[in-house]
Structures are given as C-alpha cells and as structure tokens.
Chain A
Amino acid sequence: MSVTTDETVTRSENQGPAPVKKLQRRGVFAGGQYIPYTLLLPAVIVLLGVLVYPIYRLFDLAFQNVNKFAYLKHPEKAKYIGLDGFDKILHDDTFWEVILRSIYFTAELVILSMVLSMLIALLLNRVSNWVRVTVFTVMMFVWAIPALVNGQVFRWLFASNGGVVDYVAYLITGDETWKNYDWFADPTVGLYVVGAAVVIWGALPFLVLGLYAALTQVPKELMEAAKLDGANGLQAFFHVTIPVIRPFLMISAALSFIWDFQVFAQIYALRNSSPESGYQTIGTYLYMEGIVPSRYSDASVISIIMIIMMLAALVFYIRQMLKIGANER
C-alpha cells in the first residue's frame, strides 16, 4: 500500500515520462538487451582478473622451471620445460607418501565426521527441548571459532607439559607416565588422532545441524507406515530415513571430502606454523614445500594434481547442487 502513495512523489521527482510509455520501456528492459550485461560486467572483469587469468598462469608456470624468486625478477632465466616438472614431482617418493597420507586422512575424517554427526543428530531427535537447545548453543560457539584458533587450542589441550588431556588420562588410569605423554612425538598419532580430533570437532556443528534439519523433513507417516509393516528401528532407519535425507547426505559427504582433502589451517596451527613432513597432507605439503620456499613451478604442478584428485567429488557436488537449484526455479 505504502508503495503506491510514495510512488507518486518519486515519479514527479524523477524524469517521470507518461505511465504508458514506461510500461513499453519496461518491456524493452525485460527483453534484456544490455542491462543484464552491464550488471554482470564488474563481476566478469573481477573474475577474469583474479581467477581466470591466474588459472591460466598456473598452467603456464607448471610447464616452466620458475623455482626461484630470482626467476620472477629476471624472466629471461625462465624457460619452458614441457612435462619435465610433472615428471619430477610424480617420481618423487615423498610426494606419493603425501598423496597416500592425504587419502587415508581424508577417508578417516569423512567417515568419522559423517557417522558421528549422524548419531548425534539422531540423538537430538529424542531429547528434551532444553537439552537440544543446549547442544545447539554449544555447536554454534564451536562453529564460530576460526580453524586456525582450533588448531592452537588443541595444541594446548594435548601439550605434553601441563596439557589437560594428559592429565585426564592420568586421572583415569592413575598412571604417572601419562602426565608427560607426547602426543606429537609420533606423527601417526599426532595426525590421525589429534589432527583428526581438531578437524572433526570443527566440522561437527555444520554436519549435525544440517543432518538434524534434514531428519525433521522425514515425514512421520512414512515412519509409522514402516513400523506398522513390521520394520524395526534399524530397518526403518536404513529404508525410510536414509533415502529421504539422501540428497543432504550426498552433498555434505562431498563437501566434507572437499574440505578435508585440502585441510590446512588446523594442522598448520597444531604444529605451530611448521608441520613436519610426517604431518603433511596435500594442502600442507603444497604450502610448506612449494609456496614457502618459492618453488613456483613445483607448487603449480602440485596444485594441478590436487585439483585433478578432487575433481570427482567436485563434479558430483556440483551436479547435486544444480539439481537442487533446478528444483528451486
């Protein structure tokens, strides 16, 4: 209502051609010859500049030997070496160790975080309201903490001198040696236990809240029908609940994979800015061995391999999102 009354004012203030003409002009605009392109222009320029061109440079660098900062200052030193850069990286044993470690670590993270969040979401379906609100509030705060700070906090929790985890282990077992147990001495323990704990702790809020919301979408009638037909709790879960929440499960699994595969900040902070080689998964490896020592070409090669390895999950995720997007329209 207010729109119409205000409108007379603006129309007289503005140029205000006759209403009939305006409707015609609107038709031209809606047909959209140049307006949409004008609106898109800034975004296109920005993305060409900071994304498309850099990606082109990424491939360009991957086929050169620019492995020192001096080569950037004196471009004449740089030369194209074809696939030799890829050859070098792919024949590096350390690189393959990193790839394997990334795969194991990602698998552990995705599986554990999905299962845990599913269990917690199911649990939240059965608790009293105030308990649910409490859990949600906690989750919200956990979610809000920056990943870098997560890593830092867990470094302190698991510290071998005065760390609270060691102390709790001592309280439970009564064994004094626990008080100085060094969680980070063995990278396998440090990464797959402590590293996984940080990442999963940080990932749970998004997954739990999302899964809980998805679970509330499961129609009660369907569950009742399943129960009437004699399905037990497990059967109903696997044959009714899972199929209904499948789209969200798929998307969150794909997202978890994408995030966990390139995990960086948490591990970086957990090892106080210098993750040892035993802690390096592909993201950390790329940073510590490629970017920090200014090996631009090597880093480009690793980046490209990293993108290729994520491609399957990326394509899957994008297809799911487009399906949802299509339904929206």
Chain B
Amino acid sequence: MSDVLSPAPETQQPLPPVKKPKKSKETEVGRSGVMTWVWNTIALLVAVVMAFPIYWMVLTTFKTNKDLISQNPTFWPSTFSLDSYKTIFDDKDFLPSLQNTVLLTLGAVVLGVAVGFLAAVAVARFNFRGRNFFIVTMLVVQMVPLMAILIPLFVLMNEINMTGTIVGVILAYLVFTVPYVIWTLRSFIVNIPSELDEAAMVDGCTQWGAFFRIILPLTMPGLVTTAVYSWIQAWNEFIVVKTLMATNGKNTSMTWLTFYSSTPTRAADYGSQMAGGLLVSLPVIILFVFFQKKVSAGLTAGAVKG
C-alpha cells in the first residue's frame, strides 16, 4: 500500500505553472512526453500492486506442498502441480454445493427480474396514485442492510417451515433483487421515447404488440444488466444461506468455502483453499468481465434515428 501512497501526491501539481505561459508548444509537448512516462511508471506500479493478490492466489493453486510450506515463497512455482484442484474435486461436498448455488442463483435471478420488470414498466410508463411514493420506497428499501433483517427472515421462514430449503433462500434474495431491478429498469424504460411505441400503435400495433416489439427489445440491455448484477449478488451471498439453509447441512459454494477453510485439518492448506476460492468465483469473474462492455452500452442509440 505504501508504494501507492508515496508517489501519488505528485499527481496534483503536474504542471509547474510559472514556466508554462512562456513555453512554446513544442517544448511543452516534449516535457509532457517525459512526464507521461513518469506517470505511466507510477500507474503501472499501481496496477502491479492491485493485481498482485490475484496473481498470488492463482500461483498458489499451482504450487506443490513443498513450495507452499517453504518460509521463502517463490514468485514462480518450481513445478506446476494440479494437486490442489484434485483435492477440491475430491471433496464430496464441492459439486453438490455448486449445484445448489446454480439452482439458487437461477431462481433468484429469473424471479427477481420478472417481478421487477413488470413493476418497472408500471412505474416508468403509467401515471398512477402513489407512483412517486413507490419509486422512493424502492430506493430506500435497497439501503436496508440485509444483515439487519436476517433474524426476522429466519424467524419467519422457521414459522412456515422453509428453513433448509432452496425456495426459502430464493424468496429471501428477492429482498435485494426486486428493488434493485425496479429502480434500474425504470431508468432504462423511461429513456425509451414513448413516441416509439405510440408510432408503432399508430401503425397498427396492439398494446401487447408494442410491448413485445418495442419496449421489450429496447429494454434488453437493461434486463441483461440487472440479471447479471442480480446473478453476481446471489452467487456471492452467503450469510443468508448460512443462517437459513446451511444449518440443515445444505451448502452453496460460498458457504462450502467457509466451512472448508475453517476445518482445522484444512486451515494450513492454502493451496486447496485458494483453488476452492478461485473455482467458486470463476463464474462470477467470467460473467463480470464478459458483460462489462454491454452494461455501459448506450441503449436507445440509433433507435429513433434509424
């Protein structure tokens, strides 16, 4: 951290102001060329510091036991070994918990996006009593800490005998998916000019036709965005699972990871812990990196023009 801290303050006074007005353009370009390399070096250093934990995690998974227990860790493994991954796949709870995670996440995403989308259309396209109240509520509700309502959720699920079931957790996840989906999709739908669906209806589209042919396709980027976000949230969540489900012996990948790492016999086996951590976060990493561009893509761009 310290090597990030120390060079960085220089960024604030990059151009000595006194000399500047006198210099001609060429010298300024030349000097800023030198400066650019200074900044480049510092920025690359930042990148190295930021990337190092990930590099170390990946590297650890390929190290042999001999390398791992060494007091002088090597920055490159002497031999590549896949033993850590083998240990993980040999763990009898790993694949079942992964399966639970997939079911849970799919359920939470599909249900959350479906319910949220309907409400978002209502909020974005209709004027009705209590509309503003509803919008503000969605924003407020997103901010309620999940941890704070965990206890009443547990009590409630216990009363209706839903603890230890995937459905119970899916329902609990709607707490954070639905308000987020409504809030985010609302701005996507509001930005679709209503002239578009009006024009479609003037041209003979039915209400539902206009919905399926205009609103739905144009909301697609928004749906993808919210689905991806909800997916990541649901995949990474583990406190709710630990409280509502894992007490009955059912795990998701994340809770499996916490149990696996805190088993006394495993506590020092960082090779397999890192391999486990990497494997359970891989789906999220792939999704995240893959959709990053789409998320920021403009949405109605071209729809009106074209």
B94 interfacial by beta-carbon distance below 8 Å = no
B182 touches A43 (CB 8 A): yes
* Stretch of A81-89, A101-109, A243-251, A286-294 on the interface side: A286-294
Contact indicator B127/A32 (Cβ below 8 Å): yes
Residue A296 contacts which of B54, B151, B201 (CB distance < 8 angstroms)? B151
Are B40 and A131 in contact, CB atoms less than 8 angstroms apart?
A: yes
Residue of B nearest to A134 (CB): B47
Bound Cα distance from A140 to B119, whole angstroms: 31
Most buried by A among B148, B200, B259: B148
Asked whether, in the complex, the Cβ of A146 is within 8 Å of the Cβ of B270, the reply is: no
Contact (Cβ within 8 A) B44 A131: yes
CB pair A42–B50 under 8 Å, yes or no, is: no
Task: Find out whether the CB atom of A3 lies under 8 angstroms from the CB atom of B47.
Answer: no
* Bound-state Cα–Cα, A287 to B280, Å: 23
**Cβ-defined contact, A53 with B156, below 8 A:** yes
Query: B155: CB under 8 A from chain A?
Result: yes
The reply to whether the CB of B122 lies closer than 8 angstroms to some CB of chain A is yes
B72 within 8 A of partner (CB): yes
Give chain B's interface secondary structure class. Answer: helix
Of A26, A30, A145, A164, which is within 8 A of B73 by CB?
A164
In which size bucket is the chain B interface?
Answer: 35 or more
Q: Which chain B residue has the least Cβ–Cβ distance from A60?
A: B152
Contact status A124-B152, CB under 8 Å: no
In residues 84-121 of chain A, which contact B (Cβ within 8 Å)? 116, 119-120
* Residues A54 and B149 in contact in the complex (CB < 8 Å), given A6-B213, A22-B201: yes
Most buried by B among A25, A32, A162, A317: A162
Shortest Cβ gap from B66 to chain A (Å):
11
Tell whether B268 is near chain A: CB-to-CB under 8 Å: yes
CA distance A268 to B204 in the complex (A): 59
**Could you say which residues of chain B place their CB within 8 Å of the CB of A135?**
43-44, 46-47, 50
Let me know if A218 is at the binding interface, CB within 8 A.
no
On chain A, the number of residues with a Cβ less than 8 Å from chain B's Cβ atoms is 117
Question: Is the pair B207, A26 in contact by a Cβ cutoff of 8 Å?
Answer: yes
Cβ contact of B13, chosen from A14, A148, A233, A273, cutoff 8 A:
A233
- State whether the Cβ of B285 lies closer than 8 Å to any Cβ in chain A: yes
Cβ of B26 < 8 Å from any Cβ of A?
Answer: no
Q: Does A253 contact B (CB under 8 A)?
A: no
Name which residue of chain B comes closest to A5, CB basis: B203
Say yes or no: A127 contacts B40, CB within 8 Å.
yes
CB distance from A220 to the nearest CB of B (A): 14
Task: Determine the distance from Cα of A265 to Cα of B51 in the docked complex, in whole angstroms.
Answer: 20
Are B50 and A291 in contact, CB atoms less than 8 angstroms apart?
no
Tell me the nearest residue of chain B to A55, going by C-beta. B149
Partner of A156, one of B206, B274, B288: B274
Q: Which residues of chain B are near A49, meaning CB under 8 Å?
A: 171
On whether the beta carbons of A290 and B151 are closer than 8 Å, the reply is: yes
Contacts of B270 in A (CB 8 A): 156, 159, 162
Q: Mark A143-159, 1 if CB is under 8 A from B, else 0.
A: 11111111011101101
- Whether the pair A201, B116 counts as a contact (CB closer than 8 A) is no
Closest chain-A Cβ to B151's Cβ sits at a distance in Å of 5
A227 within 8 Å of B (CB atoms): yes
Residue of chain B at shortest CB distance from A56: B152
Counting from the closest, the 7 A-B pairs by CB-CB distance are A144-B288, A39-B122, A43-B119, A36-B126, A303-B148, A57-B152, A54-B152
